[in-house]
């Protein structure tokens, strides 16, 4: 049994020696050391996740704020654009009204000109009738001058030489 006791004593001494040299921390087993490393890694991971969550929250707040600002800007632009369209529509309505007025004025001018041309045609017809009457009267005068000339010749008058 001395051998067995010696083996047990050596095993205990190796265990103690391993605890002190392999783990790097005196009086701590390798399992305890792994547990410490896992706890530290978990704490570090939690810190990293907390920082990521904090940064994500900040970015989400900034994005929400910027989105709200952009929505307000878009709303304002839409209102301005609609006001602009309303002004353009009003201007188009004014131009259309003015064109309608000009169209009415042109129609009235055409009607007035047609009446004037009708009056001119009537006056021209009347003048033509008067000229026809004058031509008849001139024809009568020519006949009278011819008779007068005959009478003067019969009385012995001579025609002037030209």
Range of the domain at 91: 2-142
Cα–Cα distance, 135 to 131 (Å, whole number): 6
For 36-64, what is the mean pLDDT? 94
Tell me how many domains the chain contains.
Answer: 1
Q: Which pLDDT score, from 0 to 100, does residue 144 have?
A: 83
Note whether residue 104 is domain-resident.
yes
Note whether residue 155 is domain-resident.
no
- The pTM is what? 0.41
Q: Which pLDDT score, from 0 to 100, does residue 60 have?
A: 96
Note whether residue 156 is domain-resident.
no
């Amino acid at each position: 049994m001395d051998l067995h006791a010696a083996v047990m004593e050596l095993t205990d001494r190796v265990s103690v020696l391993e605890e002190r040299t392999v783990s790097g921390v005196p009086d701590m087993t390798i399992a305890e050391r792994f547990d410490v490393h896992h706890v530290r890694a978990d704490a570090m991971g939690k810190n990293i996740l907390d920082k990521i969550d904090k940064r994500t929250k900040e970015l989400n707040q900034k994005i929400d704020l910027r989105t709200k600002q952009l929505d307000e800007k878009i709303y304002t632009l839409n209102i301005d654009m609609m006001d602009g369209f309303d002004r353009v529509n009003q201007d188009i309505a004014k131009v259309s009204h003015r064109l309608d007025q000009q169209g009415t004025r042109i129609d009235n001018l055409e009607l007035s000109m047609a009446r004037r041309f009708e009056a001119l045609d009537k006056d021209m017809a009347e003048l033509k009738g008067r000229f026809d009457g004058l031509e008849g009267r001139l024809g009568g005068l020519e006949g009278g001058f011819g008779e007068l000339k005959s009478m003067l010749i019969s009385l012995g008058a001579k025609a002037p030489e030209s």
